[in-house]
Amino acid sequence: MQAWLFLRAMGRFESTMFARTRYSQPKMVAIGVVGCFSLAIYYPVWAFLFPQPYENLPLRLACSATFLPLALLPWWPRRFRAWLPSYWYLAMTIALPFFVGYMTLRNATPAWLMTHMAAVMLLMMLFDVASFLLVFTVGSIFATIAFLLSPAAHLHVAPMLEYIPLLLFAMVGGAVCSVSSSMAEQSRLDALTAASNNIAHELRTPLGSLRIAAKAVGRFMPDLIRSHRLAESEGLPVPELREQNLHALERSVGVMEREVTYANTIIDMLLLAARPIGEVPLHPLSARECVEQALRRYPYGSRAERDRIMLSPTGDFTLMGAESLFVHVLFNLLRNALFHTGRAGKGEIGIYIEPGETSNRIRVYDSGPGIPPDVLPRIFNRFYSYSSEGHEGGVTGLGIGLAFSLAAMEHMGGGIVCHSNWGEFTEFTLDFPLPDTGDTQ
């Protein structure tokens, strides 16, 4: 149990680390260029123009080099981008709390004390409170160890004792401001969610009217077309309509109804994603019946889309779940698979229901373009979408579909994982506990 809690805490921290890195990413190139040159350029300033008691050119150049990969970020190979959050934290730890902390301990002059304070303020702007404490603590510990191991190192007690209260005040004040910023961000998120819910509800009425109008048109359109053809055959003076135009009119009714159904499905998914999942009760369900229902209800854009999906002919099991949650999880997976295979112009989609001895599984496999390796570890992060990373041809979305799917699967006592080879395939696996081990509500 303790190992599970530790892994879960590390997973949450890793997600937080990625989120903070993502917010800082637009500035990373500028930070890399400034950091790389400033650490090197300040050597003659502190060594000759305003001489300090201690300088170390090799250490300064080594720390300066840690900024170079950030300056070259646009040229990183895609397979290395998954390591960007870890490298960002490592570079900031080495360049700011370690290097600046070590030089401050060696000099303890007003110039270095102010530099250390500026470094602390910069760290608090770049990281959340927990990440700042981690980076600052780790960097400071290594700076202290390096100081203690340095030959002829002498601690300047009086200046450091005077500096510590100012440092603590700055850190506490920065933490309070950071918490206030997080609260403001959460308030904006709540307001956005409420506004989205109101908009979604308001759209129900015009969509319902459009569906009624489409049904009325569909009811009388065949009679009107037959009347027009009959009038033409009798030589009556009616406007000329080509045969392809008449066929387009016949198809337009189905297009309107299909688009209305699709819009209502998206609204249902958004509203369900905004609802606290913990309030949804669970009941015994047949996996095959739920999958078949999802395939029947999904608003396909065309017959060709439906034909790209193949359901395994055998396999079924009982799961403890909520039909609405399970169906919309499948909707999210189908929507993503259809979009990517359609954009790539290739790929089939297979759904496999596989009972097991220790757990039951449903696999959604597509032979489309796959997911890039730098994107794959983040796809279940809330509000993360491929398009927000600025990749060409990315998915346009809010980044809530897969996050909702993960939360829904965890509520039903199961889990969801994704395996993908870029350029080859993508496979989502839904794991369900056996009925006697599943949670009930």
Distance CA 271, CA 157 (A): 60
Given 241, 274, 307, the domain boundary residue is: 274
DSSP track, 101-160: HHHHHHH--HHHHHHHHHHHHHHHHHS-HHHHHHHHHHHHHHHHHHHHHSTT----HHHH
Q: How far apart are CA 408 and CA 402, in angstroms?
A: 10
Is residue 168 a part of any domain in this protein? no
366 with 413, same domain?
Answer: yes
Does residue 240 share a domain with residue 295?
no
Instruction: Answer whether residue 4 is part of any domain.
Output: no
Residue 83 within any structural domain of the chain: yes
Given 274, 292, 322, the domain boundary residue is 274
Does residue 213 sit in the same domain as residue 135?
Answer: no
Q: What is the pLDDT of residue 395?
A: 42
Tens of pLDDT, residue by residue, the chain (441 residues): 555 455 555 555 555 566 666 667 778 899 999 999 999 899 999 999 999 999 999 999 999 999 999 999 888 887 787 788 889 999 999 999 999 999 999 999 999 999 999 999 888 888 878 788 889 999 999 999 999 998 888 888 899 999 999 899 888 887 777 655 555 555 655 665 666 666 666 666 677 777 777 777 777 777 777 787 787 777 777 777 677 776 777 667 777 776 677 676 666 666 666 566 666 788 899 999 999 988 988 878 778 888 899 999 888 999 888 887 888 899 889 988 998 888 877 788 999 999 988 889 999 999 888 888 777 877 887 666 664 444 444 444 556 778 888 888 888 888 999 999 888 899 999 999 887 644 444
Cα–Cα dist 180/175, whole Å: 9
Residues 267 and 289 grouped into a single domain: no
pLDDT at 361 (0 to 100)? 93
- CA 358/CA 321 separation, integer angstroms: 18
How far is residue 371's CA from residue 395's CA, in Å, rounded to a whole number? 11
Query: For 127-155, b where at least 16 C-beta lie within 10 A, e where not — what string?
Result: bbbebbebbbebbbebbeebbeeeeeeee
In a domain, 318, yes or no: yes
The answer on 309 and 403 residing in a single domain is: yes
Please give the span between the terminal C-alpha atoms of the chain, in angstroms, as a whole number. 23
pLDDT in the model for residue 51: 92
- 7 neighbors 43 (Cβ within 8 angstroms): no
Residue 15 DSSP symbol: H
Cβ(225)–Cβ(246) below 8 Å: yes
Q: Is the domain of 288 the same as that of 268? A: no
Tokens at residue 436, please? 């006697």
Establish if 3 belongs to a structural domain: no
Token code pair at residue 170: 């700055």
pTM above 0.75, yes or no: no
The span from the CA of 300 to the CA of 377, in Å, is 29
Same domain, 87 and 224: no
Q: Are residues 270 and 288 in the same domain?
A: no
What is the C-alpha to C-alpha distance for residues 122 and 171, in angstroms, rounded to an integer? Answer: 11
Same domain, 387 and 348: yes
Domain of residue 270 covers 204-274
Q: 362: helix, coil or strand? A: strand
> 309 φ, ψ to 5°?
-105, 130
Q: Is 385 helix (H, G, I), strand (E, B) or coil?
A: coil
* C-alpha–C-alpha distance, residues 404 and 428, integer Å: 14
Query: Based on the domain organization, do 288 and 267 belong to the same domain?
Result: no
For residue 419, tell me if it sits in a domain.
yes
Q: Residue 161 falls within a domain, yes or no?
A: no
**Is residue 185 situated within a structural domain?**
no
Same domain (yes/no): 216, 286: no
Instruction: Supply the pLDDT for residue 390.
Output: 43
In terms of domains, do 59 and 24 share one? Answer: yes
Our count of domains for the chain comes to 3
Task: Mark which of 226, 254, 274 sits at the end of a domain.
Answer: 274
Torsion angle of C-alpha atoms 108, 130, 179, 161, degrees rounded to 10: -20
